[in-house]
Amino acid sequence: MHLLNRHRGRAALAVAAAGALALSACSGGSDGDGNGNGDSDEKIQLTVKMFGTLGYVDIEAEQAYEAEHPNIDVVLEGDGTNFDQEFRPAIESALQAGSGAGDVIAMDEQAMAQMMAQSDYWADLSEYGYDSRAEEYPEWKWELGHTADGKLAGFGTDVGGMGMCYRTDLFEAAGLPTDREEVAAAWADWDGFETAAQTFVDSDVDAAFLDSPTQLQNMMLGQLAGQGDGQMYVDAEGNLTLDSAAVQDSVDTIIGLQEMGAIGSFASWSEEWVTAQAEGGFATMPCPAWMLGVVEGNAGEDNAGNWDFAAAPGISGNWGGSWLLVPSQSQHPEEAAELAAWLTSPENQVSVFEAVGPFPSTFAGQEQVMDVTNEYFNDAPVAEIISGSVAEFPALEYSALHPTVKGAVENALNGLVDGTYSADEIWDVINSEAENAVQLGG
């Protein structure tokens, strides 16, 4: 309660501050006439709402854009804003209220399905001729920037991609290959991954093979859905599709790995998960591009050379990445679209990557950083592995209910691993929790 109130208070403050800013900008810019449409010497203010700086402050995007466009005043907002606690709720209310959402909105992958479900909130950028940018992006990244009824709402910024972090010291102790090419070849498919898990468990090395059940299951789900009928947890009408091949096979694989004793109880972001990366509590973990820095920070200098990075089973996968969207409430959707397109251009994606690290989502951007390696991970060719994983990632349709049902399923799988549920119960739990999530989603 207390926490909530504090955030509400802060959001209100932010709204008030934004309002004051808008007012002062209006009074400063206009010479008395209210309608500035088409007036060329009228300065147009474009507000970009972000969670954090997204690297745009670091590459001085504001100055560069204003220098090229003298009639545009770019305002970058959101430094230090937490996505889930502050940003998403504030944007949700602003979109519902019809004002205050700015002209360009940054949106993280986890909220995209929900945002794109409300078509009315978004401008259609294909009206300004941006459909041509489709070829710059992997298909799935491009498609996810479209609303449920097909409007082009925005452009992708970065991608997470997916590879597999693994501990060479633990692999060696367990008698598994340590060279990343050999590792990738050994688990080229999911059977190979299970075989490696069995070898590791049999070796009696005192560590879990895999950190936790959730990321691996999620990655497998996307791959299997892409190969099959495209169904994941929920279809476009909001009906559960838990009997789809992708859900059944991915969960059954997890149950198998759990019975084998290969999965650790290190839920992502828990204190134990952080410590285990330094202590060698588990040997493998699915890693998007941005996770490498996290692992390096958690494991520290003492573990330099212990962690390595290889292509994951089945190769394709993604976790994270953002978009820049233009809301329909923007007074200048065309100019906003131009700004969003410029910010997400391959050149700027590369600048942002070099400044703060998010991996480019455009093919051209990836091309330019292709030879980047990671020293901490034994000079692994990170860029090559990540771009491979996103190039093959399937274009899937995400229902607005996908995130909450996904959360319910993953919570149940964590319960399987911590012993709360038995393998016999797990499907009942998944079904009932998923039904609750659908019902609560409205």
Report the interface residues with other proteins, using CB under 8 A. 1-4, 84, 89, 92, 96, 114, 117-118, 265-267, 269-272, 275-276, 279, 281, 400-401, 404, 407, 411-412, 414-415, 418-421, 436-437, 439-442
Q: CB-wise, 220 or 400, nearer to other proteins?
A: 400
State which residue, 31 or 424, has the beta carbon closest to other proteins.
424
Residue placing its CB nearer to other proteins in the complex, 223 or 399: 399
Please say which residue, 84 or 179, places its beta carbon nearer to other proteins: 84
Q: How far is the CB of 440 from other proteins (least distance, A)?
A: 4
Q: How far is the CB of 410 from other proteins (least distance, A)?
A: 10
Taking alpha carbons only, the member of 18, 196, 211 closest to residue 103 is 18
Give the residue with the Cβ less far from other proteins, 4 or 423. Answer: 4
Phi, psi of 340 (to 5 degrees): -60, -40
For the record, the structure tokens of 235 come out as: 């279809």
Pairing state of beta strands 208-210 and 282-287? parallel
Burial environment of residue 79 by CB neighbours within 10 A (0 to 12, 13 to 18, 19 or more): exposed
Q: Give the residue among 285, 287, 58 at the shortest CA–CA distance from 160.
A: 287
The token pair that represents 341 in the structure block: 């397109």
Residue with Cβ nearer other proteins (65 or 323): 323
Residue with Cβ nearer other proteins (45 or 303): 303
Amino acid letter for position 371:
D
Instruction: Report the nearest approach of other proteins to the CB of residue 399 (Å).
Output: 10
Select 89 or 346, whichever has its Cβ closest to other proteins: 89
Minimal distance, residue 183 CB to other proteins, in Å: 25
CA atoms of 66 and 83, how far apart (whole Å): 27
Half-sphere exposure of 394 (CA within 13 A, CB side): 19
Cα-based distances in Å from 219 to 53, 213, 216, 389 = 28, 11, 5, 11
E strand intervals along 223-355? 282-287, 307-310, 321-325
Residue whose entry in the numeric block shows the structure tokens 């009906």: 239
- Closest distance to other proteins from the beta carbon of 267 (Å): 6
The token pair that represents 185 in the structure block:
């070849």
Nearest distance, CB of residue 275 and other proteins, angstroms: 5
**Which residues are registered as beta bridge partners of 322?**
108
Tokens describing residue 422: 């038995």
In eight-state DSSP terms, residue 134 is: G
Rounded least distance, CB 121 to other proteins, Å: 10
Q: Which is nearer to other proteins, 89 or 256 (CB)?
A: 89
- For the bound state, the minimum distance from the C-beta of residue 402 to other proteins, rounded and expressed in Å, comes to 12
- The packing angle between helices 402-417 and 426-440, to 10°, is 150
Cβ at position 260, least distance to other proteins in Å: 19
Using CA atoms of 341, 347, 349, 353 in order, give the dihedral in degrees to the nearest 10. Answer: -160
Element housing 196 (H / E) = helix 190-202
